[in-house]
Structure 1
Amino acid sequence: MTTTSDPGAEATTTTRSAAKAERRRELLTAAAALMARRGYASVRLEDIGAAVGVSGPAMYRHFANKQDLLAQMLTEISVRLLDGGTAVVARTEDPARRLAELVDVHVRFALTEPDLITVQSRDLAALDEGPRATVRRLQRRYVDLWADTVVDVTGVDRRVGLARAHAVFGLINAAPRMPELGDEVAAAQLAAMARAALTAG
């Protein structure tokens, strides 16, 4: 016996799924903007929903509560950065080129997602222990990619490589607080300073 699927039903399901994913993305973007401006503790789920025209109760179709929203937001940031860094390492054999590309990926993220950078830097401590541990674990893996590459390029002790990576993250993540330079100039300046710090004599 064979069964045939209903193309119309499948298309409707796909459309609904895409719409739900898009609405979730809008909510996370609005949440990042509000939390970057006011802080996690001062933002309610209702505030986030209102920013994109979603009622308070409808927020619970996407997030269990505000803590769940923050956990998803910060976990996704960490996954995106780790995936980007892992892709650079996988495709780039030359260590110096790899380091430059890692810097470029992080600079681009900091300049295009300043609200997420601010929330990650300031509100990670607001996460419950379990989600915070997950984010920290992802962050450590990301830092390891950088530290290994710094060691490959410079030959410094790995502890020094780790220290340099952390220092450069602080430098790049300060992008939202920089004077307005324009993205192109800011990217060039941040990348140049980051590469100099990572490879300092």
Structure 2
Amino acid sequence: METIEEMYPIFQQLISLATKIPLDRVVLADQGRTPLVGNDLYATYNPIPVRAYGQTRRKREFIPVIVETDPALGNDWQDLRETACTSMVFLLSVNFLNAGAATAAMHLANANFVTPVSDYLFHNKIAWRFVSNRRNLTGLLQAGLQPRYQADIHLFIEKTVSYALLRAAGFDIQIRERDGTYGLSG
């Protein structure tokens, strides 16, 4: 994942699978839109990146030359694209509104153990840590009670950052041992 926008449809599908709410009734929060019409159950979600965690893993691949090189260096010159991968802790805040909100919030507690959800997590390289306590936010709405519940899903997700490395900034090293074998190269 390079941008949080890449994760929106993945989070939407995850919440739909975990709570059995139809996909079109799971919407991204804080878009300045009016709430969904009707009294049917729906959910809003707000992904919040918390922190990077663990050791960085780096991948490099050759890319075409970005900056012109000196012809004296030869024609087979390539630059590199480095991708740094870290685990990122995410807080996925989910609100459930209307009839069925309590049940939908309850479904989150064990959702990562249910086969379609665990398969989906594995396929998208997401680690489900835990779900917070569910909070009852039921309140008055137009002279009636509107059931509202809120819970936070804590996740680990692989975050990547890619950037170009100019090959001129690096060089190859090979160390040959006395017995003729190569001991180190890089």
What TM-score do you get using the length of structure 1 for normalisation?
0.22
Choose between structure 1 and 2: higher helix proportion: 1
Structure of greater Rg: 2
Choose between structure 1 and 2: higher strand proportion: 2
